[in-house]
Amino acid sequence: MDIRKVGVVGAGQMGNGIAHVMAVAGYDVLLNDINQEALDKGLGVIKSNMDRMVSRDKMKAEDRDAALSRITTTLDLPELGKTDLVVESATERETVKQAIFEDLVPHLGPDTILTSNTSSISITRLASRTDRPEKFMGFHFMNPVPVMQLVELIRGIATDKPTYDACLAVVEKLGKTAASSEDFPAFIVNRILMPMINEAVYTLYEGVGSVTSIDTSMKLGTNHPMGPLELADFIGLDTCLAIMNVLHDGLADTKYRPCPLLTKYVEAGWLGRKTGRGFYDYRGDEPVPTR
């Protein structure tokens, strides 16, 4: 399967990062979102990140310009039907993802590969709602996409080998490393990471330690670059809660029960960095713990 043009659904934090690395690797990219403001913001982030790479001598200015020229945008989802590979990177809600694929399928070429950047949702179930479950798989990038080296490749029960091999070749062309995961809730990275973050929230909830002491303990005691609560804010507390719910519902084990404090923060709209408040308050010059 010769992949030359890639469609990316969603111009948010993950989507613009995926568009960035695909364009740098030489793919033509068609970036889609539901409103022009999101597309403009996504393109602005891509250009800003590439400018930073140029200023740090990690990219040549002419390579930046060439990569940016390979990215076009559209508000019309069916336009992505003319691409060879589609990477869906919309919000982590299954109903939203299903609706996107259902709208897209009638416009696809027979050989177009469909993938989802979902961090936890069943690939088999998403694939079953399309006309090509054998050409559907999970393509899970880590955040921030231009920096992180890992991509999880998740095969659904019907995914065929040519589809897997084609996606593996894309990962290698991106200069990243692939890890293959079976299609079980939250795959590998989040199956391990999210319960750790959830346990950190329980540690806060039960008064064992403050936000500062928990994050400092994990940074200095286990050499993590970010504390778990700081990381949760970076990921988005709504995303963390969604993944914990997928684990809890999918595996029916009480050890995956989301901490009530995590639920409370999400209900308050304190979702982390993207809303200005989470376990830290980001509205001032320096982040300040909220508990």
Class of the 5-182 domain?
alpha beta
Residues tagged in the binding site annotation = 10-15, 33, 92, 97, 119, 143, 274
Got the DSSP string for 104-134? HGGG--TTPEEEE--SSS-HHHHHHTSS-GG
pLDDT in tens, 227-272: 999 999 999 999 999 999 999 999 999 999 999 999 999 999 999 9
User: 113: closest CA among 170, 152, 71?
Assistant: 170
pLDDT in tens, 61-89: 999 999 999 999 999 999 999 999 999 99
- How confident is residue 92, by pLDDT bands cut at 50, 70 and 90? confident
- Could you give the CA distance from residue 141 to residue 148 in angstroms, rounded to a whole number? 8
Q: Please state the domain extents for the chain.
A: 5-182, 189-289
What is the percent of the chain where pLDDT is above 90?
97
Domain 189-289 has CATH 1.20.190.20: no
Mean pLDDT of 18-32: 98
Neighbouring-strand partners of residue 141: 151
What's the chain's average pLDDT? Answer: 96
Q: How far is CA 103 from the centre of its chain?
A: 21
Got the DSSP string for 219-240? HHHS--SS-HHHHHHHH-HHHH
Enumerate the active-site residues: 119, 140, 152, 190
Residues tagged in the binding site annotation for NAD(+) = 10-15, 33, 92, 97, 119, 143, 274
Model pTM?
Answer: 0.90
